[in-house]
Amino acid sequence: MTDAPLLSIKGASKRFGAIAALEDVSLEVGAGEFFALLGPSGCGKTTLMRLVAGFETLDAGRIEIGGADVSGAPPHRRPVNLMFQSYALFPHLSVFDNIAFGLRRQGKGRAEIAARVAELLQIVRLEGVETRRPDLLSGGQRQRVALARALAPGPRLLLLDEPLGALDRQLREETQFQIKEIQRRLKTSFVVVTHDQDEALVMADRIAVMRAGRIEQIGAPTEVYERPATRFVAGFIGQMNFLEGRIENGAFVGPFGRLPAEGGGLSQGAKAVLAVRPERIAIAPATEASAGLDGEILDGVVEDVAFRGETTHFRLRLPGGEALRVSRGANSGAPFSVGDAARISIAPEAGRIFASE
């Protein structure tokens, strides 16, 4: 992000009685960026969004939009709009009137409203349904009407709170791509609030992972997935194995022998965990030479096999008794069955090492 940020949150804190909903949260969202706030229920995502929209006031900190301090500004003075999962469309109004609602409130003229609604219908690919009532639309179409309605007044920043929570899985995936495509074309900044990691990974340019009122990491989807900054992030996003060991002479010593453990402030003798993704573990039948394996090789036993189409997931038992999840792409070698012996290894750079909690 090289340009001045569109949204800048600095040291935001908010308490509700004894509960610290947010503690010293800082982040920036670029102009035209798709940003996700991701975290478990109760971590403060909604509170942060309500602060940006102006429905809550900060206890400490500052919020700037487009370089202007809006910390004390009421919602209607902020160039921000919101779209909720339960964004109830007015059931008695047509699609046209639903989308035109905010424009009429802004006092726009008839011709301007008609042109803007037509433009929005085209953006969300809903031309031809303007006279229909919302209850005659599919769930996905309703979602797009809600998006068009939220975009109609031309906000510089659109906040979307669990926008796809009401949709079933398949429709949700489809709608994720549609929303992303619309955002890319409009270049409006979007901030989506979600507890669904797939949603954040698929849609966002960058993700802030939150936990208990604080930000654990901000990064591109690949960064938070490949290089989680904390053990919490490692476990919250994607599937992860955690293997216990300890730090000895700058190395992590665990089930896979010695792995380099530079940095991280881990002290000699400290208990630590190795976090390694199921797809970063190499697996070969015990009967084969160790082709494709690297470093310390362990013998394991396949305890469970789950076929998932493009990948197959295995649960293995290691000699030390630990369970290990391993996944492989389709057509990537000999199949395994429950009870098979397997040889496994990990490349030294495949895992991340964290202090034990």
Which residues are at the interface with ligand ATP (CB under 6 A)? 16, 19, 21, 39, 41-47, 195
Contacts of residue 255, defined as CB under 8 A and 6 or more positions apart, other chains included, come to 243, 245, 298, 318, 320, 322
Report the residue number, 201 or 208, with the smaller CB distance to ligand ATP: 208
Work out the end-to-end distance of the chain between its first and last CA atoms, rounded to an integer number of angstroms.
33
120 vs 158: CA distance, rounded Å: 15
How far is CA 292 from each of CA 310, 312, 324, rounded to the nearest angstrom?
21, 18, 19
313 closest CA partner among 321, 324, 301, 300: 324
Shortest spacing between CB 214 and ligand ATP, in angstroms: 11
Beta bridge partners of 180: none
Decide if 167 contacts 146 (C-beta within 8 A): no
Report the residue number, 16 or 90, with the smaller CB distance to ligand ATP: 16
**Please, what's the b/e burial string for 150-187 (b: 16 or more CB within 10 A of its CB; e: otherwise)?**
bbbbebbbbbbbbbbeebeeeebeebbebbbebbeeee
149 vs 99: CA distance, rounded Å: 4
21 vs 47: CA distance, rounded Å: 7
Report the residue number, 183 or 194, with the smaller CB distance to ligand ATP: 194
Report the residue number, 7 or 276, with the smaller CB distance to ligand ATP: 7
Shortest spacing between CB 41 and ligand ATP, in angstroms: 3
Report the residue number, 41 or 170, with the smaller CB distance to ligand ATP: 41
Shortest spacing between CB 51 and ligand ATP, in angstroms: 9
Shortest spacing between CB 18 and ligand ATP, in angstroms: 9
Shortest spacing between CB 287 and ligand ATP, in angstroms: 49
Length of the chain: 357
Report the residue number, 25 or 103, with the smaller CB distance to ligand ATP: 25
Report the residue number, 51 or 344, with the smaller CB distance to ligand ATP: 51
Shortest spacing between CB 19 and ligand ATP, in angstroms: 5
Q: Spell out where 185-285 has E strands.
A: 189-194, 206-211, 214-219, 241-248, 251-254, 257-260, 271-276, 281-285
Shortest spacing between CB 178 and ligand ATP, in angstroms: 23
